[in-house]
A = this chain, B = another copy of it.
Amino acid sequence: MNGQLNPSQSFPARHRLDALCKLDAMATQAIDQAVSRAFELPAGREVLVEGEPIAHAMLLLCGWAARMKYFHDGRRQIVNFILPGDLLGHCQQDQPIAPSTVVALTKVRVCRAPDPSVSPTLASAYAMSRALDEAYLIAQAARLGQLSAYERLVDLFLELMERLELSGEAQNGRCSLPLTQVMIADALGMSSVHVSRTLGQVRQNKLLSFGAGELVLHDRLAMASALARRDVLCQ
């Protein structure tokens, strides 16, 4: 009845956390137990609202979400994307307040994140996940501040592919990517019209193809070198 509702719905989360820190039996068991109480939210639903307390850390199982900052005039900035297997709203505080709103971009399936105290490997994976979140946030700031529209686009696709490979959802530079050009525009701080035009250039240079919800990277070396001219981090 639902393509995303299959017996291995815990796969991305387990794959990702296991890649961050080899999980022991207790950890995988805790994940499976948490997944058994998963629930679904429709596209557009707010998962966390800025300024409101966070009830529980969550684990995203299927679908995509995004952390947003909203503006009066209808503009919005996507601060980062949240992919299957990602944690959201996990803080150290007693009464954490969400620093940004999280919205489901597609229909999503989530569950409460299992308590990391059941396994040191799970706690370690959570710590790695937090560190990655921070690194991606920093990367986003650098992208928005310094890269051209063409570079921002290439850089974002490289990051997304890398992250999807971590959760086992991408192979051979190919993955499904349920983003519209408007969402990409909101993430990269450009107009959707300019995303369309710039995407045309990238396609013309045969770096990648992107359409019908699928992204295929044809030439990752060329993509990296399009950035390497500037970014010391991408050789």
Interface residues of A (CB under 8 A from B): 50, 67, 69-73, 75-77, 79-80, 91-94, 96-97, 99-100, 124, 127-128, 130-131, 134-135, 137-142, 144-146, 187-189, 228-233
Contacts of A93 in B (CB 8 A): 124, 127-128, 131
- Interface pair A99/B231, CB less than 8 Å apart: no
Copies of the protein in its oligomer: 2
CA distance A155 to B52 in the complex (A): 23
CA distance A131 to B99 in the complex (A): 8
Known: A72-B228, A73-B230, A230-B71. A144 touches B96 (CB 8 A): no
CA distance A229 to B71 in the complex (A): 9
9 inter-chain pairs at a CB distance below 8 angstroms, sorted by A residue, are A69-B142, A71-B230, A72-B231, A73-B229, A75-B146, A77-B142, A77-B145, A77-B146, A144-B144
- Interface pair A72/B131, CB less than 8 Å apart: no
- Interface pair A138/B228, CB less than 8 Å apart: no
Contacts of A77 in B (CB 8 A): 141-142, 145-146
CA distance A127 to B91 in the complex (A): 8
- Interface pair A230/B144, CB less than 8 Å apart: no
Nearest 5 Cβ contacts at the A-B interface: A145-B189, A144-B144, A69-B142, A99-B135, A77-B142
Contacts of A140 in B (CB 8 A): 141
